[in-house]
């Protein structure tokens, strides 16, 4: 029984790879990876965010570091590659959520609700 289900799941995955949302996501992901400025900003953002969290865990709030993080976020938000990637990613997630909702309706299980717990 699991073999048939696995085959159908793979067929569904294959169909998803044919979607415009999926190809647009891959295109935007590639453009983001090729954007050296955005990549440097993302690395810097992640490092500063980790540093901020570490300080917060030790009871320290670093306003200067928070300002740096906010500034990097603004720069990232201004990069076309970042904006396009986030948009494409959200569109793909919406499509995948619709597929999960359809499956959930059919089997009478609210999949999204189960995952929230």
| Residues sharing a CB contact under 8 Å with residue 104, sequence separation 6 or more, in sequence order | 110, 111, 112
* Within a domain: 113: yes
Contact present, 45 and 69 (Cβ < 8 Å): yes
Domain presence at residue 109: yes
Domain of residue 90, residue span: 19-27+80-117
One domain for residues 55 and 87: no
Same domain, 46 and 69: yes
Residue 81 · residue 28 · CB < 8 Å: yes
Rounded to two decimals, the pTM is 0.83
Query: How many domains is the chain built from?
Result: 2
> Is residue 48 domain-resident?
yes
pLDDT tens digits in sequence order for the chain, 117 residues long = 689 999 999 999 999 999 999 999 999 999 999 999 999 999 999 999 999 999 999 999 999 999 999 999 999 999 999 999 999 999 999 999 999 999 999 998 887 776 655
Residue 86 domain flag = yes
Residue 14 lies in a domain: no
């Amino acid at each position: 029984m699991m073999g048939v289900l696995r085959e159908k799941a793979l067929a569904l995955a294959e169909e998803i790879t044919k979607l415009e949302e999926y190809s647009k996501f891959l295109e935007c992901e590639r453009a983001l990876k090729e954007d050296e400025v955005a990549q440097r900003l993302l690395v810097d953002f992640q490092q500063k965010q980790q540093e901020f969290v570490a300080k917060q865990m030790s009871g320290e709030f670093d306003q200067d570091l928070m300002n740096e993080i906010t500034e990097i976020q603004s720069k990232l938000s201004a990069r076309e590659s970042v904006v396009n990637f986030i948009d494409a990613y959200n569109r793909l997630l919406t499509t995948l959520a619709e597929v999960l909702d359809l499956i959930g309706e059919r089997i009478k299980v609210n999949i999204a609700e189960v995952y929230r717990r």
